[in-house]
Every structure is written in C-alpha cells, then in structure tokens.
Structure 1
Amino acid sequence: MLSASSSKYDMIMKASVSLFTERGFDATTIPMIAERARVGTGTIYRYFDSKETLVNVLFQESIQRFTEKLKQDFSELPVRSGFHHVFCCLVQFTNESDYALFFLEMKKDAHYLNDTSRKMIENLMHMLDDYFNKGKAEGVIRSLPSNVLIAIVLGAFLKIYQLVQTGDIQMDMDLMTELEQCCWDAIKLHSFTSQK
C-alpha cells in the first residue's frame, strides 16, 4: 500500500502531466496542478522547487521508461525486426500512459528542459540514429537524415494515436499491423526486395 506521501507525489505527477498535455507548459501553473491533484500548493513545493523542476522530473522518468523498453536486444536485431521493435515500444509506451504523447512531441530545445533532460534526449536520438545508419548502410532504409526518418514515423504514429484518443478510430491488432507496415513502407528503400 502506498504511503500518504507517495500517494500525494503520484497525484501531483499525474495532475501535472495531464495539465501539461492539455494546456502546454507555459499555460499551466502550480496552483492549477495543486487543484487537480487535490493537494495544497505548498505540498508541491515540498517535492519540487519550481514548475521547471517538476516537468524535468516527469520528462526524465518518461524518457527513461521509453529508452529502457527500446534498448532490450535492440542493437542486435536485423533492420526490419528492429523497426518492429521500435514500433512496438511506441505502442506500449502510449498504452501505458494516456499522456505519453506530450513527451513524444516535446522538442529537445524546449526552454524549460535542463541539461540532464537534453542529454537523455540526445542519448535516445543517438540510439535511433545508430539504427537508421545501420539500415542505410545495408541498403534497406532510405538515405534521408535520421531526424527526417524519425519525423516521418513518429509524425504518422502521433496523428493516428490522437485519432484513437479522440475516439475517431478504434485501435486493434489489424490497424496496428497496417500502421506499422505503412510506416515501414515510408522509410524503406523500395529497390530493396529481400526484406518485406
């Protein structure tokens, strides 16, 4: 059973990320977070000295969870299997948190991110860059810059997932399989025929 203090911490974290997602960082205030979390404003300041500290803790915990999922056996996989792994990690990450999209859409140069947060993004991007470079070197993936390839895949995924969140489409295994294939088709080198 959670202690009262860990329960308050969890409520603050949940309220913060939901408000940051709905309103954005700049339009969210500590009193708003306190009201949604049903705690006093002073309680938040016992855990975090500022809103910037709070968003960085949230961001770092989120990036760490995603990176831990991603790096399990990732570097050893064949290119197409590696893409399946990345895609499944995106699906799991967004299914585990209603507000994961906020973190996936966050820009690495956001003014409120600190050096630790930026370093964690760089490490994640480096991991993905290594994957795309491997695919390009093997002639499997298009020779576009890695950040462009990431934008193609992540952009499509985020837009589809937003449709799921608004109830415009139902997420099921068939849709996920088709979406993964569409994203793969968008970045693969089409003259390469030995991998489907």
Structure 2
Amino acid sequence: MDKQTIYKKQTASKSSRTKPAEVRLDELMNAAEALFLERGVEATTITDITDKAGVGKGTFYHYFASKNDMLTALAKRYTEQFVEAVQQAIDACDAGDWAGKLRAWIHANVETYVKTYRTHDIVYNHHHHHDRSNQAKKDILNQLSEIIDGGVAAGIWAPAEPRVVTLLIYAGVHGATDDIIAAQLESHALFAQNLADACLKMLPARAEN
C-alpha cells in the first residue's frame, strides 16, 4: 500500500471519529446497501464496506459482529422506513376518512415497494421473509388492521371476518405489486387506484336498518 493510500485511510479514519455515532452507523449501512445493490451480498467484503464508508474495520466491528449481522440491521431499517412512509400517507388523510386511509395504505405500499424492491429482496432473501413469524409483515399488517378495524368501529364497513379480509388485502396488494414489478409496468398510480377499488369491494357497507 503506497503512502498516499495510507494517508487517505488515516485521514478518513480521523474524520469518522469526529462524527456522532449515529451518523457513522448510518453512513456505514448506506455504504453496505449501495455495495450490496451494485455487487451482491456474497461479492461484497467487509473491507469493501469500510473502504466505501471511509472507516476502519474496528468501526464496523464496533456495531456488527458479521456481515450477516449488518444484513439483519439493514432489514430492520428497511422495514422501519417502509412503515414510516406508509404511515405518513395514512396520516395525511382526515381522521374519519377510513376509505381514504385504506386507499392511502394501498397507494403507499405499491409506490414504496416498487421504488425499494431491490433492497427488499437483498435484505429479506437472506432473512427468510416468508417466515410465518416475520416482524416486517406484522408491522405492515398492523397498519392495515387499524384502518379496517377503525372503519368497522365507525359503522362504515361490516365484513363477516375482518381479519380474513385484512389478510387477503395484504397478500393481494403485495402479490399484485410483485406482478407489476416483473412486468415493468410504468403507470403505478393507475394500478394502485384500480387495486384500491378492488380491495374496497371486499368491505361491504353496513346494512341500513
């Protein structure tokens, strides 16, 4: 290793130590995510990650025991960011607009998934996304359950089995979005609108006395 390279590594290491811990961690994870997307997980080494982040290996091992440990953290971050993006769309609706909230949940799920599916596939293909105990699925399902249960409590909808409808809408939205990703469909907004129309038909209105 030449002197210039050594100097750059030392300078980067000193600079990284002056940053807050959460900034260093975020930059390290951003570097790993970018490399995983570019090269794949198996082809990316810890040295590659620390070099791109401009930190030493000691910084990596301060936060993570291994590359798999980092993948677990990336999966958790991905889920948190996904749920937050969907929640922001829901919160933009009026408090009692349950149909609007459901449409917002569907639109945000479609748009966010389409934009981030490559990261999704990387972090979850290594963590058995279809495991029945998957926490990411639970978090997103909880958002949907709150909307459907809220509409039922408000007397807007009266499905015989709210939980069954919740599961069907969840599976349908994510399965349908996988299909448009594979088809490379450009009009996501129209697709999401049609999908929301179909999902709302699964929620019958309460019968008038």
Q: Does 1:92 align with 2:149?
A: no
For structure 1, the residue ranges without an aligned partner over 5 or more in a row are: 23-27, 111-117
Q: Which residue of 1 aligns with 2:161?
A: 144
Q: Does 1:188 align with 2:203?
A: yes
| Change in CA separation of 1:141 and 1:33 when aligned onto 2, cut-off 3 Å | farther
Residues 29 and 70, structure 2, Cα contact 8 Å, conserved in 1: no
Amino acid of the structure 2 residue aligned with 1:109: S
- 1:54 shift after superposition: 2.0
Amino acid of the structure 1 residue aligned with 2:66: S
Q: TM-score, normalised by structure 2?
A: 0.59
Write the mapping of 1:7-46 to structure 2, written as runs, cut at 5 A.
Answer: 9-16=29-36, 32=42, 34=44, 38-39=48-49, 43=57, 45=61
- 1:58 shift after superposition: 1.6
Amino acid of the structure 1 residue aligned with 2:161: L
Structure showing the higher helix proportion among its residues: 2
- Distance in 2, matches of 1:189 and 1:173, equals 24
| Change in CA separation of 1:7 and 1:191 when aligned onto 2, cut-off 3 Å | closer
Q: TM-score, normalised by structure 1?
A: 0.62
| Change in CA separation of 1:122 and 1:191 when aligned onto 2, cut-off 3 Å | closer
Write the mapping of 1:8-157 to structure 2, written as runs, cut at 5 A.
Answer: 9-16=29-36, 32=42, 34=44, 38-39=48-49, 43=57, 45=61, 47-72=63-88, 73=91, 76-99=95-118, 102=121, 106-107=130-131, 109-110=133-134, 118=135, 125-137=141-153, 138-146=155-163, 148-157=164-173
Q: Does 1:174 align with 2:180?
A: no
Residues 11 and 37, structure 1, Cα contact 8 Å, conserved in 2: no
Residues 106 and 196, structure 2, Cα contact 8 Å, conserved in 1: yes
Overall identity of the aligned pairs, in %: 12
How many residues align? The count is 170
